[in-house]
Amino acid sequence: MKILVTGATGFIGRHLVAHLARAGHDVAGLMRTTSTIPEAIAHLPMHAVDATPDALHAILMRERPDGVVHLAAHYVATHTPADLDALVAANIGFTAHLLEAMADAGCDALVFAASAWQYGEAPANLYAATKNAALALADYYRSAHGLRVLELALYDSYGPDDPRGKLISILKDAMGSAVDVPMSGGEQRVHLVHVDDLCQGFTLACEQITDFTAGERRIHRLPSTQAISVREVVEALNAAGNGRHCRVAWGARPYRPREVFSPWEGAPVLPGWTPTVPLAEGLRRLLDSKE
């Protein structure tokens, strides 16, 4: 299968394009013009694209993929007015141009990297709301062009070579320090999934979407085997630290506005997928990595 991955140089993207290639798929990637290509995927076709619609259309026409995995997004947990333009441009505007280019190139299969924060009573933040707006655009292309859509609702992820500054990276960097990391109360329950398991999920999704009927849309999740509290995440990391520990000041920071304390679990898990990297093993591998 010929697959185009957007956001191919991001944390999940760089792991996914390598995984898809190892699985025997013909893979190409889209990346920002300001991004650099990691050495591990430098042998694969990578296309730098800016906001110019013509450039994106030319790439799709040249590659003519069987399907697109759409990972590219702009993430802000709690936005300010200065974030609005970037959120709309990246998550809505770019997706609109991508969908139009796919239609022109005859590509009718989209695996969409969704966030569990999009679902439930309302989106948890503006980032999640813009992701929902992108899916509303996909609904038009489903109706007008028979686009097949598989949404994969993702939770918190971790793994080696992660530049995002997420919780696990912050805690890892603080291992062995005498300074306490200021944290909230830590009562939020999260699904923490290793990037290797996510790559396997996206690969299965690409293979399964070929059986969708024209215009079909499905939503599946890629959760861990069990949601745990943030406090339990810290305990697990310290247990994997081989004598090194991360000191945490619980309650030193307030919870964020619209904090999610229980993860959304309102859709079935992707058929045929289950996480295979236990948290303890994944954390040990992370702490042993040379990044």
Helices 126-145 and 94-105: angle between axes, nearest 10 degrees: 20
Contact of 49 with 59, CB cutoff 8 Å? yes
Residue 137: CB atoms within 10 A of its CB come to: 16
For residue 99, give Cα distances in angstroms to 16, 134, 137, 160, 185.
21, 10, 8, 31, 41
Domain ranges of the chain: 2-156+194-223+265-275
pTM of the model: 0.95
Contact of 141 with 98, CB cutoff 8 Å? no
Q: How confident is the model at residue 269 (pLDDT cuts 50, 70, 90)?
A: very high
Q: Which CATH class is domain 2-156+194-223+265-275?
A: alpha beta
Task: Tell me how far apart the terminal alpha carbons of the chain are, to the nearest angstrom.
Answer: 32
Reply yes or no on whether the pLDDT at 181 is more than 80. Answer: yes
% of the chain beyond a pLDDT of 70: 99
Q: How confident is the model at residue 135 (pLDDT cuts 50, 70, 90)?
A: very high
Our measurement of the distance from residue 4's CA atom to the centroid of its chain's CA atoms, rounded to an integer in Å, reads 15
Q: What is the pLDDT of residues 219-266, one digit of tens each?
A: 999 999 999 999 999 999 999 998 899 999 999 999 999 999 999 999
Q: What is the pLDDT of residues 150-171, one digit of tens each?
A: 999 999 999 998 988 899 999 9
The per-residue pLDDT for 51 is 58
Q: Region 52-59: what's the mean pLDDT?
A: 86
Reply yes or no on whether the pLDDT at 291 is more than 60. Answer: no
Q: How confident is the model at residue 40 (pLDDT cuts 50, 70, 90)?
A: confident
The per-residue pLDDT for 39 is 86
Extract the tokens encoding 35: 């991004």
% of the chain beyond a pLDDT of 90: 88
d(C-alpha 76, C-alpha 57), whole Å: 28
Q: State the chain's mean pLDDT as an integer.
A: 95
